[in-house]
């Protein structure tokens, strides 16, 4: 018994040593490395926070308030504080402190988005089903973006509507157009035509994502975005930094649907030839759903971890007035999501 207690105490001490000191409002993991950002976003999209009860949420919020005011109960660990912050950030909007509707939380993006991905990749789509799934996908994306928007600098509703309509129109147009081209390609066998059609959703969704970013944030190219020195002081507004931010965000939006909409068709084309699925066609949809869920769960944190939220750029690459306004060799800017 004494040895067991000693082992448990040693394990608890080791776990405590691995847990960084708690910092209110700061990420738990270092954001300067890809791995740190990956761990950070795994926490953000963790679907287990969808099942947090109202009482557990209140406990987490109260614990953070106690920490803020220096009235923490004795024995509270860093791990408990990080867990409380994770729960609060997953459920409550950071600017309004209002609960985000469950399907539109970042932690709900994969479980609620996977059925849409499955729908996008269904074989033998009709014109109506193609339009429906592309519309539903862009509608879901628009709702997630709006629910997690920056409420301190609210954009006009017209901007969201403009971005939403642009994304829907571009996605539907490209998907319908590519499907029509594939159908008219007489050189393809029916099997090849079906395989190619399965890849149509990717260029449609990727193009729509780029269109959405450009339409919703094109004013940044004209007005610029804030750049900050090493001490967090704003040293100016840069159109060049805005262009870098939009390119990075657009690239992220292209990379994100790539594994989700490209890997499952490849994997399913192999699995469908196996004896199990050929003898049990009813398993096709459950297997495809699982493959899509796995691809989605891998792709989302990988894509949004590509670039740091606060990107660094040399002042020599920016406008001359910004280089004159600071002695820092580099400045940072918020690229957005």
Domain ranges of the chain: 12-92, 106-334
CB count within 10 Å of CB 138 equals 27
What's the predicted TM-score (pTM) here? 0.78
The separation between the first and the last C-alpha atoms of the chain, rounded to the nearest angstrom, is 52
Q: Which regions of the chain are under pLDDT 50?
A: 1-17
Residue 150's pLDDT is 64
CA atoms in the 13 A half-sphere facing the CB of 191: 4
pLDDT in tens, 201-234: 888 888 888 888 888 777 778 888 888 887 778 8
Separation of alpha carbons 272 and 50, rounded Å: 33
Residue 66's pLDDT is 93
- Name beta bridge partners: 99: 92
Q: Which DSSP helix (H) or strand (E) runs through 227?
A: strand 225-228
Residue 153's pLDDT is 61
Residue 336's pLDDT is 65
Residue 6's pLDDT is 45
Residue 151's pLDDT is 65
CB count within 10 Å of CB 70 equals 6
pLDDT in tens, 82-117: 999 999 999 998 878 899 999 999 899 999 999 999
- Assign 235 to helix, strand or coil: strand
Residue 337's pLDDT is 63
Separation of alpha carbons 331 and 337, rounded Å: 19
């Amino acid at each position: 018994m004494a040895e067991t207690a000693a082992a448990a105490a040693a394990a608890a001490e080791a776990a405590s040593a691995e847990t960084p000191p708690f910092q209110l409002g700061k990420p738990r993991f270092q954001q300067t490395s890809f791995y740190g950002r990956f761990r950070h976003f795994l926490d953000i999209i963790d679907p287990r926070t969808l099942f947090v009860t109202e009482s557990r949420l209140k406990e987490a919020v109260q614990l953070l308030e106690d920490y803020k005011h220096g009235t923490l109960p004795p024995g509270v660990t860093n791990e408990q504080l990080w867990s409380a912050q994770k729960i609060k950030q997953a459920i409550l909007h950071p600017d309004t402190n209002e609960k985000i509707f469950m399907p539109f939380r970042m932690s709900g993006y994969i479980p609620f988005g996977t059925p849409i991905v499955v729908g996008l990749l269904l074989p033998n789509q009709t014109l109506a089903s193609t339009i429906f799934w592309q519309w539903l996908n862009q509608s879901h994306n628009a709702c997630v973006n709006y629910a997690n928007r920056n409420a301190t600098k609210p954009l006009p509703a017209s901007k969201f509507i403009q971005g939403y309509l642009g994304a829907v129109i571009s996605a539907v147009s490209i998907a319908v157009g590519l499907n029509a081209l594939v159908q008219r390609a007489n050189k393809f066998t029916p099997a090849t035509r079906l395989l190619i059609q399965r890849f149509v959703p990717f260029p449609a969704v990727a193009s729509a994502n780029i269109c959405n970013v450009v339409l919703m944030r094109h004013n940044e190219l004209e007005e610029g975005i804030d750049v900050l020195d090493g001490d967090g002081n704003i040293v100016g507004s840069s159109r060049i930094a805005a262009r870098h931010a939009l390119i990075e965000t657009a690239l992220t939006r292209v990379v994100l649907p790539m594994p989700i909409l490209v890997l499952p068709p490849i994997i399913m084309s192999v699995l469908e030839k196996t004896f199990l699925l050929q003898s049990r066609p009813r398993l096709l949809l459950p297997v495809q759903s699982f493959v899509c869920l796995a691809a989605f769960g891998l792709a989302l944190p990988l894509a949004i971890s590509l670039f740091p939220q606060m990107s660094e750029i040399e002042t020599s690459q920016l406008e001359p007035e910004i280089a004159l306004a600071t002695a820092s060799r580099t400045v940072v800017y918020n690229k957005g999501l």
